[in-house]
Structures are given as C-alpha cells and as structure tokens.
Amino acid sequence: MRPKPMVEIGGKPIIWHIMKNYSAYGVNDFIICCGYKGNVIKNYFVNYCLYESDVIFDMKKSKIKSHQKKVDPWRITLVDTGEGTMTGGRLKRVKQYIGQSTFCLTYGDGVSDVNISQLICFHRNQRALATVTAVQPPGRFGSLSLEQKNMKISSFMEKPQGDRSWINGGYFVLEPSAIEYIADDETIWEQGPLQKLAEDGMLAAYRHLGFWQCMDTRQDKETLEKLWASGRPPWKVWK
C-alpha cells in the first residue's frame, strides 16, 4: 500500500503533478505533511534527481556518474506530522516552517488547471484570512454558501446531500494567522476552522470553472490515466 499522494498517474505520483502545476506559476518552495507511510514520500524525493537523470553505473570501479537533465527548481521540506493527525493538526504542526507570508495549501489527491497566480491575487484583494477554490462537479461532496456581493463564504458544510453545489476544491490560499483557528492534532481543517473563518467573514471563495478532478476511487484514477494517455491532460499547465 502507498500513501495517496504517491499513487501514480502516467507513471508519476499525483503529488508530482500537483507540484509541477504550482511550479509553473513560480511556486517552488514546498512543505509536505507526511503521515501514513511518509517514508515512501521521503524516499521518492531523496532519489528524485537520480530518477530524473541519465546514470552510468561502473560496476567494476564501483562508481556512479550522473548526467543531469533539467532539474525542477524545488526546495522541499518533508515533515512527519504523525500518522493519526487530522488535516488541521497537520497544518498546525508545520507552522514553524511557514513563516509570516501568505501561503498556499492543497491536498495530495486531486489535480486542477486553476491559475495559481490569479488565485493568490484574488485572495489578497479579498482581505480574508483564507480563500478556498470553489468548484462545481456532479454531487457527492460538501457545499459552500456564497454571498454574491463580495464572494465571502457565509457557511461551510462538508459533504451534505445534494448535487451540483459549489464544493471545496482543495486549493487554498492562507494567511499565517488562519492557523490560530486550529486547536490541536485532533482538529479537522474542514470542520471547526473553516466554519469559524466563515462565521467571522474571513473565508473567501474563488470560483474555478475549469478542470478539477479528485482521486478518491479507482474509477477516478482510471479517468485521470485516460486523460494523461490522451496526450492532452487538462491539468497540465507546465511545458
């Protein structure tokens, strides 16, 4: 069994696809919250340059020579946030690595063609502590109630009944002070913190009408594999 971020699409872990998209918009400093089998993620990045390079193994001389291709300009911090820690708790545990600047947050199990630069710009214009990307796929997820006038969220409910609602697409932009809404390891980000941020008028919604797809089921993975195999995966914004 692999952690979900390491499930592959087209031979690459889904976390790689997510990071490539962020990197296309100049976001190259990553903090990865490791939980279940976090060592698998660490091992992948320890060997990433090796995987992406041409290598000569001189067995007689016990030497390895790497002919590096273009390497991604990433700086990656991998933090063991505990196997049983909830989503909010994971974020609170990496606070020391975030600093005082606006930052992005996303899950490791979904891809989108959301324009990260526009998302960040929107967030800053809203003067909110948190912005969530709202998407509108067919049913089965949680819904957001949006105020038309200023695009602030008036309520946040995870996975209610109903179809075609605006849902949490998982691409957030946050101010460091939003972490103060998280109590401890047991805090679920999508419940108390987002609900309280919404009540305080500090949670904004960026409506994304483009591509978004999570990978919760085998069928989701097969859908993404087919899109990648087509040669025109809609989430691939990098060259």
Helices 116-126 and 14-24, packing angle to 10 deg: 70
Sequence ranges of the domains in the chain: 4-229
Which residue bears the tokens 């952690």? 3
Residue 106, Cα to own-chain centre: how many angstroms? 3
pLDDT of residue 89: 98
pLDDT of residue 53: 77
pLDDT of residue 162: 46
Q: Token digits for 49?
A: 């340059």
List CB contacts of 147: < 8 A, sequence separation 6 or more. 153, 154
Q: What b-and-e string marks burial along 77-105, b requiring 16 or more CB atoms within 10 Å of the CB? A: ebbebbeebbbbbbbbbbeeebeeeebbb
pLDDT of residue 207: 96
Q: Which residues pair with 130 in a beta bridge?
A: 174, 203
Pairing status of strand 75-80 against strand 29-34: parallel
Distances (CA, A) of 131 to 38, 46, 106, 108, 121: 28, 32, 11, 18, 11
List CB contacts of 168: < 8 A, sequence separation 6 or more. 132, 133, 134, 141, 142, 144, 156, 158, 190, 194
CATH number for the segment(s) 4-229: 3.90.550.10
Tens of pLDDT, residue by residue, the chain (239 residues): 889 999 999 999 999 999 999 999 999 999 999 999 999 999 999 888 777 778 788 888 888 777 766 779 999 999 999 999 999 999 999 999 999 999 999 999 999 999 999 999 999 999 999 999 999 875 555 566 666 666 777 777 665 544 567 899 999 999 999 999 999 999 999 999 999 999 999 999 999 999 999 999 999 999 999 999 999 999 999 98
Which residue bears the tokens 């490539």? 20
Provide the residue type at 11 as one letter.
G
pLDDT of residue 63: 80
Alpha-carbon gap, residue 220 to 137, rounded angstroms: 13
